[in-house]
């Protein structure tokens, strides 16, 4: 797994090791230093996806048959550093696809994003198959990555599969520079007893997903029967709520929580994204179904964060 020390990768690695065994999952990261607990959980390699030779050597030496490609520069950071976003997101994916082609790997799973959508699409129940006109460099790289992966499937038989993830909320790792980071930061502020200043409007509605469901979607698609798949890229929906509704949900557990709203440049990004997704293709082709709704997620998040932040 590339990007294994990122927000999703950290928890996905542990889920894969639980199912397949600690020594069967090679975690690979670039700059972020893993915790000692993470290092002790199984094999780890420092690896830059821009270095194809090093990537290929890791694939061959470890006899890899499946890649989860999670290395990526996210939306907010991508707008501050668009050149870096392109180099990592496009260059890294191209290298991974080439290695998968040359060594005939069984499958390649990656995460796309709701950032692929833009003007001209329905913002409610956004279809799986629709026009893609993103307004951010992150979105541009994700659309390009979807098309490149589909091309490698048709041209070379690389079993490329991707889920379009909504905003991800995690109790395990801090957010990594995305436009939906306010959702995670709000929980942290509530548990720590701090006022939170939200960088989007109170009425901003976006699709969100709790980390256990994000992990479930990636592993579920990877394990799906390929003969049932008519698509290479799938919307996966879970829940949608406004920033104000999230704050109210948190106050149902932490009544003293306070939040104000001061939108910044990320508001324009949020306004270009869907409010909910039509994930009927994923449900029909590989039986996707989320587990968490907003009340259950809030309860679980706060239960997990309280001992961690207190410690």
- Residues 86 and 142 both lie in one domain: yes
pLDDT value of position 65: 96
State the average pLDDT over residues 178-200: 94
Q: What is the CATH number of the domain that holds 280?
A: 3.90.25.10
- 187 and 140 both lie in a single domain: no
Give a yes or no: residue 2 inside a domain. Answer: no
Q: Domain containing 102 — which CATH number? A: 3.40.50.720
Best CA proximity match to 217, nearest among 138, 283, 126: 283
Task: Indicate the residue among 222, 247, 262 that finishes a domain.
Answer: 222
In the predicted structure, residue 174 carries a pLDDT above the cut 80: no
- pLDDT value of position 75: 85
Question: What would the two tokens of residue 137 be?
Answer: 């460099």
Which of 68, 138, 182, 196 is catalytic? The answer is: 138
Give the residue-averaged pLDDT of 80-91. Answer: 95
Say whether both 161 and 189 belong to one domain.
Answer: no
Rounded Cα distance between 89 and 74, Å, is 9
In a domain, 267, yes or no: yes
Residue 308: band (very low, low, confident or very high) from pLDDT cuts 50, 70, 90: confident
Same domain, yes or no, for 158 and 176? no
Question: Is 159 part of any domain?
Answer: yes
Most distant CA atoms of the chain, gap in Å? 57
Residue range 121-146: mean pLDDT, rounded? 95
Report the pLDDT value the prediction gives residue 178, as an integer from 0 to 100.
80
Same domain membership, residue 39 and residue 179: no
pLDDT (0 to 100) of residue 70: 96
Structure-token match 């029967």, residue found: 225
Q: Lowest mean pLDDT: which of 93-102, 140-149, 264-273?
A: 264-273
Residue 227 lies in a domain: no
Per the structure, the complete domain to which residue 129 belongs is given by: 7-166+214-222
58 and 156, same domain (yes or no): yes
Which residue did the predictor score with more confidence, 160 or 6? 160
pLDDT of residue 134: 94
Reported as a single tens digit per residue, the pLDDT across 214-223 is 999 999 999 9
Among 4-8, 22-26, 255-259, the least confident range = 4-8
Q: What is the DSSP pairing of strand 107-113 with strand 160-165?
A: parallel
Are 16 and 111 in the same domain? Answer: yes
**In this structure, are 158 and 14 located in the same domain?**
yes
pLDDT at 179 over 90: no
Residue 310 pLDDT: 76
In a domain, 175, yes or no: yes
DSSP the chain: -BTTTSHHHHHHHHHHHHHH-GGG--EEESSSPPPHHHHHTS-EEE--TT-HHHHHHHHHHTT--EEEE-----HHHHHHSHHHHHIIIIIHHHHHHHHHHHTT-SEEEEEEEGGG--TTS-SSSB-SSS----SSHHHHHHHHHHHHHHHHHHHH---EEEEEE-EEE-SSS---S-TTHHHHHHHHHHHHT--EEESS-TT-EEEEEEHHHHHHHHHHHHHS-GGG-S-SEEE---EEEEHHHHHHHHHTTSTT--EEE---THHHHHHTS-SSB--HHHHHHH-------HHHHHHHHHHHHHHHHH-
Same domain, 34 and 174: no
Q: What is the overall mean pLDDT for the chain?
A: 94
Q: What per-residue confidence (pLDDT) applies to 311? A: 64
Q: How many CB atoms lie within 10 A of CB 43?
A: 14
Kindly state the percentage of the chain with pLDDT values over 70. 98
Same domain, 264 and 148: no
Active site residue 94: no
264-293 pLDDT, tens per residue? 999 998 998 999 999 999 999 999 999 999
Whether the pLDDT of residue 110 is over 70: the answer is yes
In a domain, 133, yes or no: yes
The tens digit of pLDDT for each residue in 14-67 reads 999 999 999 999 999 986 677 777 888 899 999 999 999 999 999 999 999 999
| Number of separate domains in the chain | 2
1 lies in a domain? no
Same domain, yes or no, for 33 and 141?
A: yes
Share of the chain above pLDDT 90, in %: 87
Tell me, what's the pLDDT at 76?
Answer: 84
Asked if the structure places residue 233 within a domain, the reply is no
Are residues 98 and 117 both part of a single domain?
yes
């Amino acid at each position: 797994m590339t990007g294994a020390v990122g927000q999703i990768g950290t928890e996905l690695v542990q889920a894969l090791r639980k199912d397949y065994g600690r020594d069967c999952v090679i975690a690979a990261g670039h700059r972020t230093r893993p915790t000692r607990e993470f290092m002790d959980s199984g094999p780890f390699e420092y690896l830059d996806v821009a270095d194809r030779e090093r990537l290929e050597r890791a694939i061959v030496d470890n006899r890899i048959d499946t890649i989860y490609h999670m290395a990526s520069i996210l939306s907010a950071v991508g707008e501050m550093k668009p050149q870096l976003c392109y180099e990592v997101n496009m260059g890294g994916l191209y290298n991974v696809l080439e290695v998968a082609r040359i060594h005939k790997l069984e499958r390649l799973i990656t995460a796309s994003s709701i950032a692929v959508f833009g003007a001209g699409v329905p913002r409610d129940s956004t279809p799986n198959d629709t026009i893609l006109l993103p307004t951010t460099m992150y979105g541009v790289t994700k659309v390009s990555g979807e098309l490149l992966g589909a091309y490698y499937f048709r041209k070379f038989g690389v079993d490329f599969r991707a889920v379009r993830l909504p905003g991800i909320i995690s109790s395990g790792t801090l957010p990594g520079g995305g436009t939906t980071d306010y959702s995670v930061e709000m929980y942290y502020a509530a548990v720590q007893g701090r006022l939170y200043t939200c960088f989007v409007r109170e009425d901003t509605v976006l699709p969100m997903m709790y980390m256990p469901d994000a992990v479930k979607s990636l592993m579920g698609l990877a394990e799906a029967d390929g003969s049932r798949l008519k698509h290479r890229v799938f919307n996966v929906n879970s829940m949608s709520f406004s920033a104000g509704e999230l704050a109210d949900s948190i106050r149902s557990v932490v009544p003293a929580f306070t939040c104000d709203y001061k939108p910044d440049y990320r508001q324009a990004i949020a306004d270009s994204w869907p409010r909910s997704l039509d994930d009927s293709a994923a449900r029909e082709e590989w039986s996707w179904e989320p587990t968490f709704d907003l009340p259950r997620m809030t309860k679980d998040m706060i239960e997990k964060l309280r001992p961690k932040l207190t410690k």
